Structure 1
Amino acid sequence: MTAALTTLGDIAASEPVYRILLIEDDVADAVLVEELLHDTELRFELTTSTSLAEARSELAVRAVDCILLDLHLPDVSGTDAVADVRAMAPHTAVIVLTGLSEKQAGSEAMAAGAQDYLVKGKVEADLLRRTVRYAVYRSHTERVAAEAQSARLRAEENVRLERGLLPRPLLDTSTVTVTTRYLPGAEQALLGGDFLDVVEGDGGLLHAVVGDVSGHGPDAAALGVCLRIAWRSLVLAGHHGTELLHLMERLLVAERGTQPLFATCTLLTLDQKAATATLYLAGHHEPLLTTAEETLEVPAEHGIALGIIPGHRDWPATVIPLPDTGALTLYTDGLTEGHNGDAGGRLGIEGLLPLINTTPSADPAAHLDSLIRQTRALNERPHTGRIRAFRQRGEAA
C-alpha cells in the first residue's frame, strides 16, 4: 500500500521541497527513516512503497527528486534493485539503504548507478540531510549534462541532414538567382522530410525540385536526402519529367521498407531562351509567379504523390510562359498551414498571396525573411516551411 505524507520544516520557504520516494518493506525501518527526515528540517514530500511493483506504479504517476531504496524487497534484491529503479527513473537521485553486515553492498550499489548509500543504524539527521541534498544536486547536474550532450548531438545531426536536404545550387552560366530559406517545425527539432535542389543542365535549362516526405523526424529526413540526391544524379544523367518521377518513386518504395511513407514534389524546368517553365506536380501544390503587377498561383495540372500508387505514372506536364523579369516561388505547405492570426483558420494560399503582394520584393533574401516573419507572427509559433525563389536578374521584379 502506498501512503503520501507532506511535511514542511521550519526553515525558509525559499528552500526547495524534496519529493522523496522511500521503497522499504520493513514498517519499523520506514518509520525510522520518516522520523530522521523530520529531524533534518528539510522541506520534503514523502511517499512510501513496500515493493518495486508499487514503486513502479507510483513513478508512473508522479515525479520524484530522490529515491531511498532498501536492497531487500519482496520482488527484487541487491544491485538488481538499483538497476530496475534506475531504468524506471533514470534522472532521479537514488540513495541505497544497507544493513550493518553488508560491507560491500554500498559500493556495489554505487557501481550499479546509485548516487550514494547509507548504513541503517548509523544514519544521523545531519548525514541524511547532506546526503539527500548532494545526491539530488548530483543527479540534476548529470541530467543537465545529458541534455546538453543530447542537444549537441541533435545539432550535429541537423547539420548532417541539412547538407543532404539543402545543397548548394549547381549553377554555371544561368542568369537566375536562387534564394532559399528553411525553418524546422520546432526548436531543437530534427529537420523534417522536406528537400530541394537546383541544377543547371545542358542548353541553358535550369532544373529544380521541391519535395516533402510525409512525417517528421530522422526517417523522413533520411528518405528526403535519398530522394534529393537521386533527383540530382538522375537529372545530370539526362532523365526528366515523367521518367524522372517514376525512377524517384521506385527509389522511395525501396527505401521506405514497411513504413507507410510517401512524398509530394514539384519538378520545374526553366528554359531561359524560350522564356517558359515546365511543371510536374506530384501531389504538390502549384508554385507562385511574381510579376511587376502582382503574385498569383500558377495554374497547373496535378499528378499523384510518389508512393501512393506505385507504377501509376500519372504526372501531366504544364508549360507556362514567363515574363522578362520576375520570380517563381516553390514552397512546402509548412508556409501556409499555420494559423491566420485574428482572422482565424489556416493561412492558406488565400492569406499568403496578400502578404506577398504587400511585402517589398526588390531583394529576394529580404523579401523571404520578411514573409517568414509575418507568417510566424500570425501563427504565433514556429512552423515548418521552406521557400525557394527563382528570380531572374534585371530591373525591379
Structure 2
Amino acid sequence: MTETRTGSVETAYRILLVEDDEGDALIVEELLEDTGLRFELITRTSLDEARTELTRGPVDCILLDLHLPDISGTKAVTTVRDLAPHTAVIVLTGLSEAQAGTDAMAAGAQDYLVKGKVDADLLRRTVRYAVYRSETERVSAEAQAVRLHAEENARLERGLLPQPILGTSAIAVTTRYLPGAKSALLGGDFLDVVEEDGLLHAVVGDVSGHGPDAAALGVCLRIAWRSLVLGGHRGTELLHLMERLLVAERGSLPLFATCALLTLDQNARTATLHLAGHHGPLLTTSRGTHELRATHGIALGVAPEVGNWQPTVIPLPRSGSLTLYTDGLTEGHNGAAPGRLEVDGLLTLIESLPPADPATFLDRLIEEAQTLNAGRHTDDLAVLRLDWDAP
C-alpha cells in the first residue's frame, strides 16, 4: 500500500523488472503506464543486481526475463523464488519458447507472458492475479506454520503438564503454567503429582534457559521423575538418577535444572522436602502464609555426582495448603518499588488478596504479580498448590 499526495491510501505495486534488453524493458514500462495500475518500477539487468535490490526491501511482483547475462532458464526462477519466496514472479518468454512458460510455472512462477503478445489489459490482469496468488500462498504457509507450532506445543504440553495420579486422599491439587516467551505455549518449567502407597509426591522444576531445548529437557525430567517415583525411588537416590538423565540428555548444551521434591504424609501430618537449587514452598494456615525453611542442595547438572541433598521433615497443621512455584513468580519487578518482587514481596502480595478458592486465588496472585512486573522481566512460571483439611 502507498499513500497518495492527498493522504488517501490506494493499492500500489512495487515491481522489479529483471531484463537486460533495453528495448524490451522500455516496452514493459510503457505497457505498465497504460494499465492504470499505481506502481513503482525498478529495472535491473542481471540476477546479481536483482539480488542486491531484494536485500534493500520487499517488492510485490518480479517480472523476470529467462535469459540474463548471469543465469537463464528455470534455474533463474528457482533462484529468484529462493531470494523472495513470498513474492509473485511473472516470467517473460520469447515467441519461440513454447514450453518455457509452462516449465517456469512448474519451477514456481505464478504466471508467464510472451513478449510481443502482451497488451495493457493482459498485463494488468496478470500482475494483479499473480500478486493475489502469491499473497494467498504466503498466508497459507503462515497458517501451516502456526498449526505445526501448535501441534508441537500440544505434544510438549502432554509431557510438561500431565494429569496428576491421585488415589483416595482428600488433597486438592491446583496447577498453573505460563511461558515467558510471548510466542511460546510452553517453556522449561515442569511439575507433577503422584500418589503412591498412601503418600502424595510432588515435584516442581525449572530448566535453565528458554525455548524448545529447555522444554524438551523439562519433559524428560518430568517423565523420569514420575517413572522413578512409581518405581519406588525416593529422596537423594531419586535426585541422583534425575541428574544422570539430565547430563545424558543435555549433550553439549550448558543446561541445568533446579527442583523441589515434596512427599506429603497426611496420616503423619508431615512434609518431607528435598531442594536442589530451588527455593522452599509456602505454607498457608489460618494464621497466614510463610516460607518453609529447609536444607538446600546444589542444582541438578551444575556439578554432577557432587550433589548431597538432605531431607527436611516439617510438621503440618490439620488444615492448610502448600504452594510450590518456580522463580518466574518472584523475579519480576515489584511495581514502583526498586528491585524484584522476591519472596518477601510475594508474601505481602498474598496477604493483601481476599480469600478465595485455590484456583481463583492462584489466578489473582499471578495476575497481580504480572501487573507489578509490567512486562519488564519474562520468565516461565509454574505453580503447584496442595490443599488439605483433615477430619
How does the TM-score come out when normalised to structure 1?
0.89
Instruction: Write the distance in 2 (CA, Å) between the matches of 1:348 and 1:164.
Output: 29
Of the candidates 112, 117, 121, which is equivalent to residue 122 of structure 1?
117
Runs of 4+ in 1 over 6 A off after TM superposition: 6-12
* Structure 1 position 249 matched with structure 2 position 243: yes
Of the candidates 13, 19, 39, which is equivalent to residue 14 of structure 2?
19
Query: Given that residues 167 and 196 in structure 2 are in contact (C-alpha distance below 8 angstroms), is that contact kept between their aligned partners in structure 1?
Result: no
Matched letter for residue 260 of structure 1: P
Q: Structure 1 48/315 Cα, relative in aligned 2: closer, same or farther at 3 Å?
A: farther
Count of matched residue pairs = 389
Give secondary structure in 2 for the equivalent of 1:326.
Answer: strand
* Structure 1 position 212 matched with structure 2 position 206: yes
* Structure 1 position 385 matched with structure 2 position 381: yes
Instruction: Write the distance in 1 (CA, Å) between the matches of 2:180 and 2:97.
Output: 53
Query: Given that residues 2 and 12 in structure 2 are in contact (C-alpha distance below 8 angstroms), is that contact kept between their aligned partners in structure 1?
Result: no
Q: Which residue of 2 aligns with 1:102?
A: 97
Structure 1 residue 12: Cα displacement: 9.9
Q: Structure 1 59/296 Cα, relative in aligned 2: closer, same or farther at 3 Å?
A: farther
Query: Given that residues 277 and 319 in structure 1 are in contact (C-alpha distance below 8 angstroms), is that contact kept between their aligned partners in structure 2?
Result: yes
Matched letter for residue 225 of structure 1: V
Matched letter for residue 137 of structure 2: E
Instruction: Write the distance in 2 (CA, Å) between the matches of 1:351 and 1:27.
Output: 72
Map 1:40-79 to 2 at 5 A.
Answer: 40-79=35-74
Instruction: Write the distance in 2 (CA, Å) between the matches of 1:46 and 1:299.
Output: 71
Query: Given that residues 297 and 310 in structure 2 are in contact (C-alpha distance below 8 angstroms), is that contact kept between their aligned partners in structure 1?
Result: yes
Map 1:1-397 to 2 at 5 A.
Answer: 13-202=8-197, 204-343=198-337, 345-381=339-375, 384-393=380-389
Ranges in structure 1 where 5+ consecutive residues have no aligned partner: 1-5
Give secondary structure in 1 for the equivalent of 2:9.
Answer: coil
1:326-347 Cα distance to aligned partner (Å, 9 max, x none): 2111112222333444446543
Structure 1 residue 41: Cα displacement: 2.7
Query: Given that residues 23 and 50 in structure 1 are in contact (C-alpha distance below 8 angstroms), is that contact kept between their aligned partners in structure 2?
Result: yes
Structure 1 residue 194: Cα displacement: 1.5
Q: Structure 1 96/170 Cα, relative in aligned 2: closer, same or farther at 3 Å?
A: same
1:36-95 Cα distance to aligned partner (Å, 9 max, x none): 323223222333333323333332331222222222223322111111121222112111
Q: Which residue of 2 aligns with 1:3?
A: none
1:257-308 Cα distance to aligned partner (Å, 9 max, x none): 2222222211111122232222222222222222223222222232222122
Instruction: Write the distance in 1 (CA, Å) between the matches of 2:3 and 2:348.
Output: 59
Query: Given that residues 7 and 45 in structure 1 are in contact (C-alpha distance below 8 angstroms), is that contact kept between their aligned partners in structure 2?
Result: no
Give secondary structure in 2 for the equivalent of 1:34.
Answer: helix
Q: After the TM superposition, which of the residue ranges 252-261 and 341-350 deviates more from structure 2? A: 341-350
Instruction: Write the distance in 2 (CA, Å) between the matches of 1:31 and 1:316.
Output: 83
Query: Given that residues 45 and 68 in structure 2 are in contact (C-alpha distance below 8 angstroms), is that contact kept between their aligned partners in structure 1?
Result: yes
Structure 1 residue 170: Cα displacement: 0.9
> How many percent of aligned residue pairs carry the same amino acid?
71
Q: Structure 1 264/109 Cα, relative in aligned 2: closer, same or farther at 3 Å?
A: same
Q: Structure 1 116/309 Cα, relative in aligned 2: closer, same or farther at 3 Å?
A: same
Structure 1 residue 364: Cα displacement: 0.3
Instruction: Write the distance in 2 (CA, Å) between the matches of 1:39 and 1:345.
Output: 65
Give secondary structure in 2 for the equivalent of 1:179.
Answer: strand
Instruction: Write the distance in 1 (CA, Å) between the matches of 2:340 and 2:80.
Output: 46
